[in-house]
């Protein structure tokens, strides 16, 4: 039995956004930097730059997306993890000559940022800031020119491929395989757009299988090419053709709406929305996470988990990261949804608690 429209899942396309928008696309912090195929590949550019300066070790937060380990391994760097507390604040050690990655989770500036930036300026490590979740948030990344920043816009909209980092490097033309992948990603998002359009329900199983498999193939390609740079023009055109101002406004409005509707009945890990934050999602944590997530899925509301920790992170050593991983889920509040959708999500959550 169908229970309302599907909420969550990969970003679909109804058409291909075209034409450069007038808007100031998004923050590239006043530097030209390098566009790449993914966040992983953008990190790889920074790491290669640091390897050239003698760095051989990367210090990472224990609460992270496992895909960022791929370029580190591919480039033969050693790595270690540091503690992230229950408020998502980072607690790295100051390891001489290392690169320290700082993640700004879910759109909010990491609480430890000022201290870690200060330590990086006066200490002996290189700070790399991952602004993937915060690339539409308005706060200044750093006044320090030497800052290393990377991100991908792929988590905030129907971006087929794309990543960016603040290090300039020479980029060749995209490989034929990359060109093929970008079209595969675009085609699968267009098919998902048709799948979500009620007029095409008769063939929905085939359509769903098609786009799910195609999007999986694109992710697998990125996993196997974590140092691939060279972004096809069509991907860049889509990135600059999306209306990011509107996306930012809708996400903020939906977050606020859901927060009010839930009225403290679930524990939001980030409880206030500062003026300058554009959220990735509405992140809650609870002991019965998997049960509530399954119940929401039965109502066709799909909530991702950020993140299942990679095997490399020992949960005994990092119990706070393990707890976040086991109890958090991210409720969609993105630009595809409106107040009615937030009302439906809140009603289902309240009825299933």
Ligand X SMILES: Cc1ncc(COP(=O)(O)O)c(C=O)c1O
* Residues of this chain that bind ligand X (CB under 6 A): 38-40, 65, 67-68, 103, 130, 132-133, 152, 154, 163, 222
- Between residues 40 and 336, which has the closer beta carbon with respect to ligand X? 40
Backbone φ and ψ for 25, nearest 5 degrees, come out as -45, -70
- Between residues 141 and 262, which has the closer beta carbon with respect to ligand X? 141
Chain centroid offset of residue 29 CA: 19
- Between residues 38 and 254, which has the closer beta carbon with respect to ligand X? 38
Q: Shortest gap between Cβ of 247 and ligand X (angstroms)?
A: 17
Cα dihedral 231→237→240→243 (10° resolution): -130
Q: Shortest gap between Cβ of 92 and ligand X (angstroms)?
A: 16
How far apart are the C-alpha atoms of 116 and 11, rounded to whole Å? Answer: 34
Q: Shortest gap between Cβ of 64 and ligand X (angstroms)?
A: 7
Q: Shortest gap between Cβ of 292 and ligand X (angstroms)?
A: 22
Backbone φ and ψ for 43, nearest 5 degrees, come out as -60, -40
Q: Shortest gap between Cβ of 255 and ligand X (angstroms)?
A: 18
- Between residues 7 and 151, which has the closer beta carbon with respect to ligand X? 151
- Between residues 137 and 152, which has the closer beta carbon with respect to ligand X? 152
The radius of gyration computed from the CA coordinates of the chain, to the nearest angstrom, equals: 20
Q: Which DSSP category does 335 fall into?
A: T
User: Do 133 and 155 contact (CB within 8 A), yes or no?
Assistant: yes
Q: Shortest gap between Cβ of 61 and ligand X (angstroms)?
A: 10
The residue with its CB nearest to ligand X is: 39
- Between residues 59 and 133, which has the closer beta carbon with respect to ligand X? 133
Q: Shortest gap between Cβ of 340 and ligand X (angstroms)?
A: 29
Q: Which residues contact 2 (CB under 8 A, 6 or more apart)?
A: 300
Kindly state the helix (H) or strand (E) to which residue 148 belongs, with its residue range. strand 148-151
- Between residues 64 and 262, which has the closer beta carbon with respect to ligand X? 64
Q: Which DSSP category does 310 fall into?
A: P
Chain centroid offset of residue 65 CA: 9
Q: Shortest gap between Cβ of 278 and ligand X (angstroms)?
A: 14
Q: What are the DSSP E strand ranges found in 233-335? A: 267-268, 282-285, 328-331
- Between residues 179 and 352, which has the closer beta carbon with respect to ligand X? 179
Q: Shortest gap between Cβ of 51 and ligand X (angstroms)?
A: 19
Q: H helices within 52-175, ranges in order?
A: 69-74, 113-122
The token pair at 102 is 């700082």
- Between residues 56 and 223, which has the closer beta carbon with respect to ligand X? 223
User: Do 307 and 133 contact (CB within 8 A), yes or no?
Assistant: no
SS3 call for 116: helix
Place of tokens 């079209």: 183
How far apart are the C-alpha atoms of 302 and 95, rounded to whole Å? Answer: 40
The CA-CA-CA angle for residues 137, 334, 155, to 5°, reads 65
How far apart are the C-alpha atoms of 299 and 291, rounded to whole Å? Answer: 13
């Amino acid at each position: 039995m169908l229970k309302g429209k599907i909420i969550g899942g990969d970003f679909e396309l109804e058409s291909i956004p075209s034409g450069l928008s007038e808007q100031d696309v998004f923050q590239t912090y006043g530097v030209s930097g390098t566009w790449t195929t993914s966040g992983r590949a953008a990190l790889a550019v920074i790491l290669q730059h640091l390897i050239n300066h003698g760095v051989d070790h990367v210090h990472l937060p224990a609460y992270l997306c496992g895909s960022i380990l791929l370029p580190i391994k591919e480039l033969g760097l050693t790595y270690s993890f540091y503690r992230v507390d229950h408020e998502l604040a980072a607690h790295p050690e100051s390891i001489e000559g290392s690169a320290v990655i700082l993640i700004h989770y879910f759109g909010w500036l990491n609480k430890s940022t000022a201290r870690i930036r200060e330590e990086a300026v006066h200490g002996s490590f290189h700070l790399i800031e991952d602004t993937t979740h915060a690339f539409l948030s308005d706060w200044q990344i750093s006044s320090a020119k030497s800052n290393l920043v990377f991100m991908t816009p792929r988590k905030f909209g129907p971006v087929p491929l794309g990543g960016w980092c603040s290090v300039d490097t020479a980029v060749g033309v995209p490989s034929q395989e990359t060109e093929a992948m970008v079209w595969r990603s675009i085609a699968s998002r267009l098919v998902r757009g048709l799948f979500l359009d009620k007029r095409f329900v008769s063939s929905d199983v085939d359509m769903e299988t098609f786009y799910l498999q195609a999007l999986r193939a694109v992710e697998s390609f990125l996993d196997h090419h974590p140092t691939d740079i060279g972004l096809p023009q069509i991907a860049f055109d889509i990135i600059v053709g999306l209306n990011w101002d509107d996306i930012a406004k809708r996400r903020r409005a939906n977050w606020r709406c859901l927060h009010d509707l839930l009225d403290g009945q679930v524990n939001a890990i980030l409880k206030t929305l500062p003026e300058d934050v554009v959220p990735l999602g509405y992140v809650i944590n609870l002991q019965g996470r998997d049960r509530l997530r399954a119940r929401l899925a039965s109502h066709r509301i799909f909530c991702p988990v950020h993140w299942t920790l990679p095997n490399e992170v020992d949960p005994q050593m990092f119990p706070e990261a393990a707890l976040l991983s086991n109890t958090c889920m991210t409720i969609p509040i993105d630009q595809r949804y409106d107040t009615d959708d937030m009302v439906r999500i809140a009603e289902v959550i309240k009825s299933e608690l």
